[in-house]
Amino acid sequence: MSDLALIYDKTTQTTSSFSSDSLAHSLNNACLAVGLSDGVIQDAVTRVCHSVSQWLLQKDEVTSDDVRRQAAAALSVVSAEAGYIYENENAMI
Amino acid sequence: MSVYESWAILILAAAIHASFQLSVSMLTILSGHALTKKTAQARLMRLISSFFGGVALMVTLSLSFLAFAARDLLHNSYAPSVVWAAVSGFAIGVGVAVWAFYYRHKTRGTVLWLPRSLADYLASRAKKTKLAGESFGLGLVSVVAEYLFSLAPLLIAALVIIQMPLSVQLVGLIVYVVIATLPLATSVILIGSGHSIARIQRWREQNKRFLQFAAGSALIILGVYVYVGQVLAPTLSGGY
A contact set with B (CB within 8 A): 28-30, 32-35, 80-82, 84-85, 87-93
**Cβ count within 10 A of residue B145:** 22
- Chain A residue with CA closest to B196: the answer is A34
ipTM: 0.87
- Global pTM? 0.92
Does any CB of chain A come closer than 8 Å to the CB of residue B123? Answer: yes
Residue B239 has pLDDT above 70, yes or no: no
Q: Tell me the pLDDT tens digit for each residue of B125-167.
A: 999 998 999 999 999 999 999 999 999 999 999 999 999 999 8
Round to whole Å and give the CA distance between B25 and A46: 30
Q: Tell me the pLDDT tens digit for each residue of B69-120.
A: 999 999 878 899 999 999 999 999 999 999 998 998 666 788 998 888 888 8
How many Å lie between the alpha carbon of A86 and the closest alpha carbon of chain B?
10
**A13 in any annotated domain:** yes
**A27 in any annotated domain:** yes
Buried b / exposed e over B151-181, threshold 16 CB at 10 Å, is: bbbbbbbbbbbbbbeeeebeebbebbbebbb
The total domain count for chain A is 1
Round to whole Å and give the CA distance between A44 and A80: 12
**A93 in any annotated domain:** no
The least confident of B92-96, B138-142, B189-193, B236-240 is: B236-240
Q: Tell me the pLDDT tens digit for each residue of B4-48.
A: 999 999 999 999 999 998 999 999 999 988 888 776 788 889 999
CB-CB: which of B107, B196, B199 is closest to A91?
B107
Round to whole Å and give the CA distance between B115 and B65: 25
The least confident of A8-12, B18-22, B154-158, B185-189 is: A8-12
The total domain count for chain B is 1
**A45 in any annotated domain:** yes
Separation of CA B140 from chain center: 12
What is residue B105's DSSP assignment? T
Q: Which domain holds residue B93?
A: 3-236
Choose among B212, B206, B205: nearest CA to B28: B205
Dihedrals φ, ψ of A7, to 5°?
-115, 125
Q: Which amino acid is at B17?
A: H
**A1 in any annotated domain:** no
Q: Which domain holds residue A76?
A: 6-88
CB-CB: which of A35, A84, A91 is closest to B110?
A91
Choose among B165, B201, B152, B215: nearest CA to B31: B201
**A48 in any annotated domain:** yes
Does any CB of chain A come closer than 8 Å to the CB of residue B115? Answer: no
B189-211: average pLDDT: 92
**pLDDT for the residue A2:** 61
Mean pLDDT for all residues in chain A: 91
Choose among B1, B227, B208, B232: nearest CA to B92: B227
Query: Helix, strand, or coil here: B103?
Result: strand
**A47 in any annotated domain:** yes
Interface contact flag, B123 A92, Cβ < 8 Å = yes
